[in-house]
Amino acid sequence: MAKTISGLYKIEVIRHRGPRHTLEAVEFDTLKWVNCFNHRRLLKPIGNIPPAEAEARNYAQTEDIARAA
């Protein structure tokens, strides 16, 4: 899976937007891409919600189960 995500990153950030001239520019574009990847991208297999929302729901459900035990 890491290869898939790395490939997406290279295509969407590096190739489409062109080369960066500073490390700070690369870091900033990477942060923007990761934020979009986790908080805006909708995934059909998990109910057309962003991965971060699915993780938050799962965490809340796990907490509820732990409290009930």
pLDDT category at 12 given cuts 50, 70, 90 is confident
Most confident range (mean pLDDT) of 2-6, 8-12, 20-24, 53-57 is 53-57
CA distance 7 to 46: 22
CA dist 9 and 46 (Å) reads 22
| Distant-in-sequence, close-in-space partners of 27: CB < 8 Å, separation ≥ 6 | none
> Phi, psi at residue 43, to the nearest 5°?
-110, 120
Question: pLDDT per residue over 27-51, tens digit each?
Answer: 898 899 899 989 999 999 999 999 9
What three-state secondary structure class fits 48?
Answer: coil
How much is the pLDDT for 26? Answer: 85
The tokens for 26 are 């690369």
Higher pLDDT, 8 or 24: 24
